[in-house]
């Protein structure tokens, strides 16, 4: 590792008391509680990255003219730290998040943080707050590194001052009462990303633009939204924050190919490798909305599932649109391919199985 940032350590003298922390870790939910510390690194055009510090978690003092508040110059990542049965702590492919973060930075005209410094920042946060990594039961410590334009200047150009911050939040199992198929609303009015846009970057702006579609989903009794391509409104892209998979009756699995408008999920990439080793043929290609509908009706498509760091793999139960619905799975139905890949991935992440791909990174 050739990380070059040196951190000042300003550790908290009032950490969350251990009894309260245990109470939180018993039922953390998702994104509600935060650990005792955060990492912060500053960047300016003149000095580059500097003033790296690990300090008590707490509010930021932010100038009302800060670039991010006006023009959304912001990117983020999401990954997890897992406690293994022997007590050791590991992250999953943090180098892949580092690479994607650097690509997102370039697209949003933000400075790139060297990949080794990205990984080292998370290692420092996780090892400092190691007591916050829950054990067992599909619990984890969710890590949220992000970067934003912090210059106080209301003009339109890339911010000459930037902050990189990383925070951590304990996470419970995504499905508190067992894996349950999600219902999906097809967004026919709104799209998520267009060629030449920011769809392949992990930036807050993509999420801001997807929220109205998410609202529409909820209003129509669905939990998540599926987006189509912005040009023909014909090709399946992905959900608001998860990539999609289609299992065919011959055991082969299909995921939409990356065309610049789909976020390149690290879970998606891991599934490509795992599914292959489990004997499934994997196809990355364009898939039409019509193929989804008629495939389910004809029995050619036998399962649909979505993947991402937070939920790992979740079966898709139904797809609903104005005037119609298809059902892939009801609660309690077996979704063998999704379940098999899900277990295989979780076993690697939680240290219950060999890691033949060298994906796990030891932190503590």
The residues with which 50 forms a beta bridge, in sequence order, are: 42
The residues with which 48 forms a beta bridge, in sequence order, are: 44
CA distance 53 to 5: 9
Determine phi and psi for 182, rounding to 5 degrees.
-95, 150
Q: Which is nearer to ligand PLP, 238 or 303 (CB)?
A: 238
Q: Which is nearer to ligand PLP, 121 or 271 (CB)?
A: 271
What would the two tokens of residue 80 be? 């997890």
Q: Which is nearer to ligand PLP, 222 or 225 (CB)?
A: 225
Q: Which is nearer to ligand PLP, 243 or 335 (CB)?
A: 243
Binding mask of the shown chain, residues 230 to 269, with x at each position contacting ligand PLP by CB under 6 A: --------x--xxx-------------------x-xxxx-
Task: For the CB of residue 308, give the shortest distance to ligand PLP in the complex, in Å.
Answer: 4
CA distance 291 to 313: 22
Task: For the CB of residue 157, give the shortest distance to ligand PLP in the complex, in Å.
Answer: 26
Task: For the CB of residue 209, give the shortest distance to ligand PLP in the complex, in Å.
Answer: 11
Nearest to 261 by CA among 183, 343, 197, 345: 197
| Number of alpha carbons in the 13 Å side-chain half-sphere of residue 165 | 16
Q: Which is nearer to ligand PLP, 268 or 280 (CB)?
A: 268
Q: Which is nearer to ligand PLP, 169 or 267 (CB)?
A: 267
What would the two tokens of residue 125 be? 């946060």
| Number of alpha carbons in the 13 Å side-chain half-sphere of residue 112 | 13
Task: For the CB of residue 104, give the shortest distance to ligand PLP in the complex, in Å.
Answer: 10
Binding mask of the shown chain, residues 195 to 214, with x at each position contacting ligand PLP by CB under 6 A: -------x------------
Q: Which is nearer to ligand PLP, 49 or 146 (CB)?
A: 146
> Going by DSSP bridges, is the β-strand pair 161-171/48-56 parallel, antiparallel, or unpaired?
unpaired
Task: For the CB of residue 118, give the shortest distance to ligand PLP in the complex, in Å.
Answer: 14
Q: Which is nearer to ligand PLP, 15 or 197 (CB)?
A: 197
Angle of the 94-107 helix axis to the 266-277 helix axis, nearest 10: 140
Among 2-10, 118-126, 168-176, 306-314, the segment contacting ligand PLP (CB under 6 A):
306-314
What would the two tokens of residue 318 be? 């139904």
Task: For the CB of residue 276, give the shortest distance to ligand PLP in the complex, in Å.
Answer: 17
Per rule CB under 6 A, count of chain residues that contact ligand PLP: 14
Task: For the CB of residue 99, give the shortest distance to ligand PLP in the complex, in Å.
Answer: 11
Span 60-119, contacts to ligand PLP by CB under 6 A: 78
Task: For the CB of residue 220, give the shortest distance to ligand PLP in the complex, in Å.
Answer: 21
Q: Which is nearer to ligand PLP, 163 or 202 (CB)?
A: 202
Nearest to 264 by CA among 110, 81, 90, 101: 101
Question: Could you say which DSSP state residue 152 is in?
Answer: B
The residues with which 164 forms a beta bridge, in sequence order, are: 41, 147
Q: Write the CA distances from 346 to 30, 82, 122, integer angstroms.
A: 18, 10, 21
Among 26-34, 246-254, 281-289, 303-311, the segment contacting ligand PLP (CB under 6 A):
303-311
What would the two tokens of residue 258 be? 């990356």
CA distance 247 to 280: 9
Task: For the CB of residue 63, give the shortest distance to ligand PLP in the complex, in Å.
Answer: 28
Span 143-202, contacts to ligand PLP by CB under 6 A: 202
Q: Which residues contact 230 (CB under 8 A, 6 or more apart)?
A: 191, 192, 193, 194, 195, 197, 261
Task: For the CB of residue 56, give the shortest distance to ligand PLP in the complex, in Å.
Answer: 28
Q: Please select the residue that binds ligand PLP; options are 214, 309, 314, 318, rule is CB under 6 A.
A: 309
Q: Which is nearer to ligand PLP, 242 or 319 (CB)?
A: 242
Torsion of CA 270, 144, 95, 105, to 10 degrees: 110
| Positions in the binding site for ligand PLP (CB under 6 A) | 78, 202, 238, 241-243, 263, 265-268, 307-309
């Amino acid at each position: 590792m050739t990380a070059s940032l040196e951190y000042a350590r300003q550790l908290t003298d009032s950490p969350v008391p251990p009894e309260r922390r245990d109470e939180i870790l018993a039922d953390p939910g998702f994104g509600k509680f935060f650990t005792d510390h955060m990492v912060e690194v500053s960047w300016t055009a003149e000095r580059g990255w500097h003033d790296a510090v690990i300090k008590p978690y707490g509010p930021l003092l932010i100038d009302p003219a800060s670039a991010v508040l006006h023009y959304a110059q912001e990117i983020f990542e999401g990954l997890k730290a897992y406690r293994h049965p022997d007590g050791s702590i590991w992250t999953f492919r943090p180098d892949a998040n580092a690479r994607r973060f650097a690509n997102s930075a370039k697209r949003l005209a933000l400075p790139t943080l060297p990949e080794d410094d990205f990984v080292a920042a998370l290692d420092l946060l996780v090892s400092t707050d190691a007591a916050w990594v829950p054990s067992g039961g599909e619990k984890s410590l969710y890590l949220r590194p992000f970067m934003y334009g912090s210059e106080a200047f209301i003009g339109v150009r890339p911010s000459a001052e930037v902050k990189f911050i990383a925070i951590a939040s304990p996470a419970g199992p995504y499905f508190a009462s067992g894996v349950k198929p999600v219902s999906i609303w097809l967004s026919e009015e709104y799209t998520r990303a267009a060629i030449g846009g920011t769809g392949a970057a992990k930036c807050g702006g993509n999420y801001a633009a997807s929220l109205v579609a998410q609202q529409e989903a909820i209003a129509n009794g669905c939990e998540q939204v599926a987006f189509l391509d912005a040009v023909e409104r014909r090709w399946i892209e992905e959900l608001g924050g998860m990539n999609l998979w289609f299992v065919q009756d011959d055991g082969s699995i299909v995921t939409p190919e990356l065309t610049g408008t789909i976020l390149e999920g690290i879970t998606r990439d891991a599934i490509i490798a795992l599914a292959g080793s489990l004997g499934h043929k994997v196809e990355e290609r364009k898939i039409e909305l019509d193929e989804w509908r008629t495939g389910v009706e004809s029995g050619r498509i036998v399962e649909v599932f979505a993947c991402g760091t937070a939920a790992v793999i979740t079966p898709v139960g139904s797809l609903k649109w104005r005037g119609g619905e298809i059902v892939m799975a009801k609660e309690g139905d077996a979704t063998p391919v999704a379940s098999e890949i899900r277990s295989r991935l979780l076993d690697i992440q939680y240290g219950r199985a060999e890691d033949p791909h060298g994906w796990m990174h030891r932190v503590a």
